[in-house]
A and B are shown apart, each in its own frame.
Chain A
């Protein structure tokens, strides 16, 4: 069996480069060493959005073509996305506690990130609940599309709700003063995490395909055994 390891190797190398860059940049002017959290937090947040976007593409692709590889794409991406989404929230909370002294603020982006987390936990729960691969693919594809269509509405309503009732948020995009070095290191980190996502997704899809093949093989063996044990009834004798 030939394994394509180049993607894994590239992801690993980029991660090492990210680690080196993240440690090499000088401490940030206002935030100090804490700003290094950004090298994980920002790429993880980006990946959550990317992963759920890919789940939408996979779901729509499955509904259009009925080919299982689209379903494996949607499922793998959702699972990796949920992990990165959880990581984003956890790191964001650590950042918030150290910077503003609170674990959570009702910023629209935070609320949306948390809601997305629950939407795709539901998606994964649905997948676990259905044994038949075809039924699972069809049903989860509809949820993959519905969830993605609803998210802009959720986002819009949360932004509107925030805009009406609270003073402008403490979190402003670009609120952290970024030096060029910092910016380059962040770009490396985003690239590295995207490579990790691609590698995990590919492994995930390979595993899913192998599981399906194994299930099919076990099942066909079972059927053969059961069939061999059958003695055909003799109708004349029954009568």
Chain B
């Protein structure tokens, strides 16, 4: 068991080091998400009360749609030759899944953290109850990291870059609803524990699915 965590840590460390050198998330995906947040008010008109109202929903939509790009980033993808090396080193496929998902979740958290103040500024939304949103940010980051890594493992070897987002987006609907309902619930003073619980259940389920499918999906590679 300790071997598994050590290997997962090494994979995550390698992925993060590669990210710091290429800047694919911080220098490309984050600005892209920020540009998307700017695009919406331009499209729907600069109506302050309306923007304030839709702000949180737009923020979560952008996080999910553009966050998928964090999980499929080119710099973390192992080519066939690298996969062979990892396999022959005796790397546990579950450790590889955990390491990749962990690194993606951390980068997603950074992505969310950079975009959140920007969304507040652009949409003028009320940051009341932000401490609850602080709990939602990591839950969504972990869930999206797991789902994206799992979808990438299923779609390994497929040339299309849009297939993983197509698999992830419909299945991430519960995360989108839960995240936006927490923000909305705080605004109107409704209870939000059910939505938080849904996020936790979703994360656990995806973690189990990813660990269970890691070995069979790796052996299915050609």
Contact = CB atoms under 8 A, between A and B. Distances in A.
Q: A and B touching (C-beta < 8 Å)? A: yes
Interface of A: 63, 115-116, 118-119, 121-122, 125-126, 129-130, 132, 134-135, 138-139, 142-143, 146-147, 149-150, 153-154, 156-158, 160-161, 164
A15 B49 CA distance: 54
Interface string B140-166: 000000000010001111111001001
B217 A150 contact: no
A161 B177 CA distance: 7
Nearest to A120: B170
10 contacts: A115-B170, A119-B170, A121-B166, A126-B163, A135-B157, A138-B216, A138-B217, A154-B170, A157-B198, A160-B177
Given A118-B166, A142-B216, A160-B194, A135 B222 contact: yes
B196 to A, nearest CB: 13
B220 interface: yes
Contacts of A143: 154, 167
A119 B171 contact: yes
B38 interface: no
User: Which of B174, B198, B217 gathers most chain A CB within 10 Å?
Assistant: B174
Contacts of A115: 170, 173
A63 B174 CA distance: 27
A149 B181 CA distance: 23
User: Which of B150, B154, B160, B190 gathers most chain A CB within 10 Å?
Assistant: B154
B220 A146 contact: no
B122 interface: no
A135 B163 contact: no
Given A122-B170, A142-B216, A164 B163 contact: no
A46 B219 CA distance: 36
B214 to A, nearest CB: 10
Interface majority SS on A: helix, strand, loop or mixed? helix
Contacts of B166: 118, 121-122, 125
Contacts of B160: 125, 129
Contacts of B205: 149, 153
Given A125-B163, A139-B217, A158 B177 contact: yes
Given A138-B217, A139-B154, A153 B163 contact: no
Given A118-B169, A130-B158, A161 B181 contact: yes
Contacts of B156: 139
User: Which of A116, A134, A147, A164 gathers most chain B CB within 10 Å?
Assistant: A164
B209 interface: yes
A122 B156 CA distance: 14
Contacts of B209: 146, 149
B170 A138 contact: no
Contacts of A122: 163, 166-167, 170
B221 interface: yes
Contacts of B163: 122, 125-126, 129
Given A116-B170, A146-B209, A149-B209, 18 more contacts: A118-B170, A119-B170, A119-B171, A126-B167, A130-B157, A130-B158, A132-B222, A135-B222, A139-B217, A143-B167, A146-B213, A149-B205, A153-B174, A153-B198, A153-B201, A153-B202, A154-B173, A157-B178
Q: Which 8 A-B pairs have the closest CB atoms?
A: A129-B158, A138-B220, A157-B174, A118-B170, A122-B167, A122-B166, A119-B170, A115-B170
